[in-house]
Amino acid sequence: MNIVSVVVTYNRKELLLECVTSILNQSRKISKLVLIDNNSSDGTYEFLKEKGIFDNSVIYYKKLEKNIGGAGGFYEGIKEAQQFEPDWVWIMDDDTIPTDTCLENLIKSIDEIDDKISYLASSIYGEKGEFMNVPTINTERSESGYAGWYKYLSKGFVQIREATFVSLLINNNAVKNIGYPVKDYFIWGDDTEYTLRLNKYYGNSYMIGNSIAIHKRKNSKSLTIFEEDSVNRINFYYYMIRNNLINIKNYYGIRKMIKAFIINQISSLKVLLKFKCKNRLKKFFIIHKALLAFIFKKYDYKAFRNRLDINVKYKN
């Protein structure tokens, strides 16, 4: 079985080294590691070269001309992986540290699942053992009328509907059928859209209980604009809100989209009226900017509509 790993990085060279080292030290070896550098400015290439990472022929490094976000990075990474003819593509961010048997346990589960699999997700924890990047359970009804998400629960597998790009093993046959992530999402929501798309148009997906990875994100809590303290990160919530509305409309329906839209409007008022909320005017503006971007399709709408075509040409 040919496993190609994809890691996207931007200005986190120390964490990246730990991530790459943990991938190379897996009990189940990969055939190639596609490393996409989103135009880092912290000397990532020089740092890895000094550490001898590029002496390993498994490494394939590509530095992009500009930072196109995590979404663009994974688009390029999965696309580059195709030249190595993988059976499965194992993807993660640069702050993901898979435990030694993370990949091995993902692969072992393939033979135990009697389904058409689109992807398998690891169980993700923070540095202190806190739960992180928890996927959404698939609650669709089985033939009996009840949800069947616990079909393989005795084996430690739970059927899911959406997940994040934090140690995700994707069936490359699925990639060939449904295309690559949406590049224009830039950051946040691209993993939700892609995993929902994999489920809808290819096959089932599962979280594997004994496949464990540690996510060394600085803030291990669920992301929310109310509690965001970083002025620079507030701008990213534009993408979160806009992309989330696009996802809900396309995968959960108009009614749920309208509900989500109204909730965001109410949230903007709460932000404005919550005087103890830091940078409340900026947050209010970002929420409304995202809502307007969704209404007036301020994204590559044509490419999104054609996202199942792996030959679609994106504007950037």
Please give the average pLDDT of every successive group of 10 residues along the chain, which has 316 residues. Answer: 98 98 98 98 98 97 97 98 98 98 98 97 97 96 92 97 98 98 96 98 98 88 81 94 98 97 94 82 95 96 90 59
CB neighbours of residue 262 within 10 Å: 10
Domain segments of the chain: what residues? 3-215, 231-305
Q: What is the pLDDT of residue 274?
A: 78
Q: For 3-215, CATH number?
A: 3.90.550.10
State the pairing for strand pair 117-125/204-215. Answer: parallel
* Structure-token match 């005017």, residue found: 281
Q: What is the pLDDT of residue 316?
A: 47
In order, the DSSP letters of 163-223 are --SSSEEEEHHHHHHH----GGG-SSSHHHHHHHHHHHHT-EEEEEEEEEEEE--S--SPP
The length of the chain, given as a count of residues: 316
CA distance 228 to 233: 7
**Contact between residue 90 and residue 4 where contact means Cβ atoms under 8 Å apart:** yes
Q: What is the pLDDT of residue 293?
A: 97
Give kind and range of the element (H or E) at residue 49. Answer: helix 44-50
3-state SS, residue 208: strand
Region label for 185, one of left (φ > 0), alpha (ψ between -120 and 50) or beta (otherwise): alpha
The backbone torsions φ and ψ at residue 137, rounded to the nearest 5 degrees and listed phi first, read -70, 140
Residue type, 112: E
**Across-strand partners of 60?**
34
3-state SS, residue 212: strand
**Contact between residue 169 and residue 106 where contact means Cβ atoms under 8 Å apart:** yes
3-state SS, residue 204: strand
- Give the list of residues 6+ apart from residue 295 with CB closer than 8 angstroms, or none: none
**If you ran DSSP here, which 8-state letter would residue 154 be given?**
G
Q: How far is CA 196 from the centre of its chain?
A: 11
| Residue among 68, 277, 266 at smallest CA distance from 180 | 68
Torsion sign, CA atoms 43, 11, 9, 297: negative
CA distance 117 to 206: 8
Q: What is the pLDDT of residue 268?
A: 92
